[in-house]
Amino acid sequence: MIGYIQQLAPAAEDWQRYFGVVLDGHQVGFVRFRERWLSDGPYPVNGHTILTFLEALRGLRRWPLRVELLNKYLGAGSPVAETLIRVLYETLATNRVHKRVKVLFNDWKRVFGQVCGYSPEKIKGLEKAYGIGKDEIDYEGLLFAVHTYYALLMKLLAAEVAVSLGDGYLQSYLKKFEEAYYQGHDELKDMLRDVEEGAIFASAIGIKNFLEGDYFGWYLDVWDEQLG
């Protein structure tokens, strides 16, 4: 089984993404790589070993929540971060006079300025980290877009974990977002609203006040095709 995984994996760093199962109908064994190869079993086929197998299947549907992967694919400099932060920044600039957006942005600016004591001069150069190449940069708006992106990212990761602990044992909540994207912008917007308003946490783990209102759900009030 170890040799089979090594043949299937594109590279050695991918070994830990595989979970080997050896089954003869009566006994079952498991093989995985965690800094070294680990072999468990053989064990009788029973409720415990079936549960282990189901947990492995669940893991295959989920993106590994490892720091290096999150930073690589979602952190500063990643295509996802650059694209979404740019879209959020441009959407904010276009809708700055929208009543709710204006209120949330100004309140965020007041509170954040009191807590951190920042000034726009201190964050000059931030646009380079996210691939924004305009001549005149609204640094306060850019920082608000960055905060919005990472706040949404944390909420989505929390929702994924919450669903895995609730009734969606073998489901991936983030996978549903991909499906919603292909179904249409309105479907995606409804799912994001469930996250921003905490509905997903109430239904998944029964906590109704998991998320308190914050400044970063403003984009739902000015939703358009570019955001979708």
Same domain, 205 and 128: yes
With 0-12 CB in 10 A as exposed, 13-18 as middle and 19+ as buried, what is 208? exposed
Which pLDDT score, from 0 to 100, does residue 218 have?
Answer: 93
Residue 92 above 60 pLDDT? yes
CB 89 within 8 A of CB 142: yes
In which residue are the tokens 């991918």 written?
14
- The string of pLDDT tens digits covering residues 109-130 is 888 876 666 666 777 777 887 7
Same domain, 55 and 82: no
Residue 212 domain flag? yes
Tokens linked to 199: 């509905």
Percent of the chain with pLDDT over 90: 20
Residue 143 above 80 pLDDT? yes
Specify the pTM: 0.74
Task: Lay out the sheet containing 19-23: strands in order across.
Answer: 19-23, 27-33, 37-44
Same domain, 54 and 72: no
Residue 227 domain flag? no
Same domain, 56 and 87: no
Number of domains in the chain: 2
Same domain, 123 and 193: yes
Residues in the chain: 228
Same domain, 82 and 14: no
Which pLDDT score, from 0 to 100, does residue 123 have?
Answer: 76
Same domain, 102 and 170: yes
Same domain, 170 and 151: yes
Same domain, 153 and 209: yes
Which CA distances in Å does 87 have to 49, 90, 111, 152? 47, 5, 24, 14
Does the CA dihedral 133-141-214-100 come out positive or negative? negative
Same domain, 47 and 77: no
- 30 bridge partner residues: 21, 40
Residue 126 domain flag? yes
Which pLDDT score, from 0 to 100, does residue 26 have?
Answer: 86
Same domain, 76 and 186: yes
Q: Which domain holds residue 40?
A: 2-60
Which pLDDT score, from 0 to 100, does residue 221 have?
Answer: 92
